[in-house]
Amino acid sequence: MTKKKALRIGLIGSGLMGRTHSNGYKRLGDFFPELAYRPVLQAVCSRTAEKVRTFAEQWGYESVETDWKAIIAREDIDAVDICTPNDTHAEIAIAAAGAGKMILCEKPLARTPEEAQSMVEAIEKAGVNNTVWYNYRRVPAVTLAKQIVDSGKLGKIFHYRANFLQDWTINPDLPQGGEALWRLDVDAAGSGVTGDLLAHCIDTAMWINGGIKDVSAVTETFIKERVHQQDGEVRKVGIDDACIFHCHFDNGSLGLFESTRYARGHKALYTFEINGEHASVRWNLHDMNYLDYFDHADDATVRGWRSILVTDSDQPYMKRWWIPGTSIGYEHSFVHQVADFFKSLETGEPCSPTFRDALETQKVCQAVLDSAASKRWEDTHVEWQGK
Ligand SMILES: NC(=O)c1ccc[n+]([C@@H]2O[C@H](COP(=O)([O-])OP(=O)(O)OC[C@H]3O[C@@H](n4cnc5c(N)ncnc54)[C@H](O)[C@@H]3O)[C@@H](O)[C@H]2O)c1
């Protein structure tokens, strides 16, 4: 057996995404044994020494840092994985690119297209491998939806509909800012559901259905003031609690998107449905192993929506796992993204979505926020390359 090359990871941020990515690195060799590179959990960084030490011990990192700049400065790190709140992504990524590190960055790429643009320039100047963790692309049923659309089975696409619904911020006593609640602080997050949740929907939508040309949006902030964790002061809430927008895609289809954290009963209900001239597909994160498919060409007596359990070995990624009929979960989408990134190091092909792809998603998010503010249609200026 040929010896694998080590890729030494420096993980920054040890919260929810720090865990999902670490799990991805740890599972990689067991399920993608043919890859030429193997991840080495070289260092993890988080601001609290005690917490980061506990994390490193639990997940098997060899060393710890409490300042992300130390990760960038270390010569024994090949790839920097950014799992910190959105306001830190640009500074860390630009510094990492300057040091010649590969970068895997959590979504949204940044808070604004301007920040995202400067990140794209930095990584392209440095010529470093990069990817952004829009992981839902790598849920097998979602990848299958993309393959079905690409095969032409749906024919001309008329409608793309997506929702991302949660219910965890309804309580007005929830503070904003700080650990875990930085998503409610506009300075840290950049926006509310638009950048946090709709960014996922937009990434999947453009990947499957092409560029979004223009948007018309409405947003709402239901709780206008919250205590800030930093100083205990009551401050204006700057994030969008809910957002609805419609749009034109470059291919002539119409899109309708909705997201909120005020939909009682829904925890992470990401759904999409695509209606074409011949057929339709729909998917639902709460039942993520299924893809629903309707084909008008079916015999009329049996025509109807069919529910495809996406677990067969000829379906995307599934030959890596168990046996047909046995499901996989949320965490596997991250394992798949790690695998695709590692594969891209061998092939030289970019691992999409790249920073440049994610910049286009950022432009749509910004156009959505601008449209909600201006109460007008806004052009996105997206240049979608179909990656
Ligand atoms: N791909 C997805 O589905 C998905 C899901 C959740 C979050 N995210 C994204 O991942 C990123 C992190 O989100 P999360 O849910 O893991 O957040 P989290 O609050 O659970 O964890 C954030 C971590 O970053 C650390 N941190 C914060 N500032 C730091 C700094 N300056 N230096 C070093 N460490 C710092 C915190 O201590 C914590 O360990 C965000 O950009 C978020 O949008 C993506």
Give pLDDT tens digits for 68-97: 999 999 999 999 999 999 999 999 999 999
Find the 46 Cα to ligand 1 centroid distance in Å: 10
pLDDT value at 10 more than 90: yes
Ligand 1: which of 106, 142, 164, 331 to mutate, most ligand atoms within 8 Å of CB? 106
In a domain, 339, yes or no: yes
Same domain (yes/no): 126, 151: no
In angstroms, the first-to-last Cα distance of the chain is 34
Phi then psi for residue 29, to 5 deg, are -65, -30
Pocket of ligand 1 (CB under 6 A): 12-18, 45-47, 68, 83-86, 88, 106-107, 133, 135, 180, 196
CATH number of the domain to which 150 belongs: 3.30.360.10
Predicted structure pTM score: 0.98
Same domain (yes/no): 203, 331: yes
Give pLDDT tens digits for 242-295: 999 999 999 999 999 999 999 999 999 999 999 999 999 999 999 999 999 999
Q: How confident is the model at residue 179 (pLDDT cuts 50, 70, 90)?
A: confident
pLDDT of the residue at 1: 59
Same domain (yes/no): 190, 81: no
Find the 154 Cα to ligand 1 centroid distance in Å: 38
* Mean pLDDT calculated for residue range 48-74: 98
- Residue where one domain finishes, among candidates 109, 135, 161: 135
Find the 15 Cα to ligand 1 centroid distance in Å: 6
Find the 85 Cα to ligand 1 centroid distance in Å: 4
Q: Which atom of ligand 1 is nearest to the CA of 46?
A: 34
Same domain (yes/no): 272, 375: yes
For ligand 1, atom 3, name the residue with the nearest CA.
135
Find the 133 Cα to ligand 1 centroid distance in Å: 12
Dist CA 209 CA 205 (whole Å): 6
User: Would you call 103 helix, strand, or coil by DSSP?
Assistant: strand
Find the 84 Cα to ligand 1 centroid distance in Å: 3
pLDDT value at 386 more than 90: no
* Mean pLDDT calculated for residue range 308-317: 98
- DSSP for 247-308? EEETTS-EEEEEEES--TT-SSEEEEEEEESSEEEEEEGGGTTEEEEEETTS-TTT-S-EEE
Q: How many CB atoms lie within 10 A of CB 275?
A: 17
Q: Which atom of ligand 1 is nearest to the CA of 20?
A: 16
Same domain (yes/no): 79, 161: no
Q: Which atom of ligand 1 is nearest to the CA of 195?
A: 43
For ligand 1, atom 7, name the residue with the nearest CA.
17
- Residue whose C-alpha is closest to residue 83's, from 23, 35, 165, 164: 23
Same domain (yes/no): 63, 190: no
Q: Which atom of ligand 1 is nearest to the CA of 89?
A: 41
CATH number of the domain to which 20 belongs: 3.40.50.720
Q: How confident is the model at residue 180 (pLDDT cuts 50, 70, 90)?
A: confident
Same domain (yes/no): 236, 296: yes
Q: Which atom of ligand 1 is nearest to the CA of 183?
A: 43
CA atoms within 13 A on the CB side of 84: 22
pLDDT value at 172 more than 80: yes
In a domain, 224, yes or no: yes
In a domain, 310, yes or no: yes
| pLDDT over 90, % of the chain | 97
For ligand 1, atom 43, name the residue with the nearest CA.
107
Same domain (yes/no): 171, 89: no
In a domain, 387, yes or no: no
Q: How confident is the model at residue 175 (pLDDT cuts 50, 70, 90)?
A: very high
- Residue where one domain finishes, among candidates 115, 135, 155: 135
All residues at 6 or more sequence positions from 28 whose CB lies less than 8 Å from its CB, including other chains: 35, 38, 39, 335, 338, 339, 342
In a domain, 294, yes or no: yes
In a domain, 385, yes or no: no
Give pLDDT tens digits for 210-228: 999 999 999 999 999 999 9
Give pLDDT tens digits for 346-374: 999 999 999 999 999 999 999 999 999 99
Q: How confident is the model at residue 385 (pLDDT cuts 50, 70, 90)?
A: confident
In a domain, 106, yes or no: yes
Ligand 1: which of 16, 44, 87, 338 to mutate, most ligand atoms within 8 Å of CB? 16
Q: How big is the chain by its Cα radius of gyration, in Å?
A: 21
Same domain (yes/no): 130, 156: no
Same domain (yes/no): 95, 144: no
Same domain (yes/no): 16, 81: yes
Give pLDDT tens digits for 25-52: 999 999 999 999 999 999 999 999 999 9
Q: Strand runs (DSSP E) across 62-188, as ranges?
A: 63-65, 79-82, 102-105, 130-132, 157-165
For ligand 1, atom 23, name the residue with the nearest CA.
13
Find the 23 Cα to ligand 1 centroid distance in Å: 15
Domain count, the chain: 2
- Residue where one domain finishes, among candidates 135, 167, 187: 135
Same domain (yes/no): 266, 158: yes
Q: Which domain holds residue 311?
A: 138-379
Q: Is pLDDT larger for residue 387 or for residue 169?
A: 169
In a domain, 86, yes or no: yes
- Residue whose C-alpha is closest to residue 31's, from 328, 339, 320, 371: 320
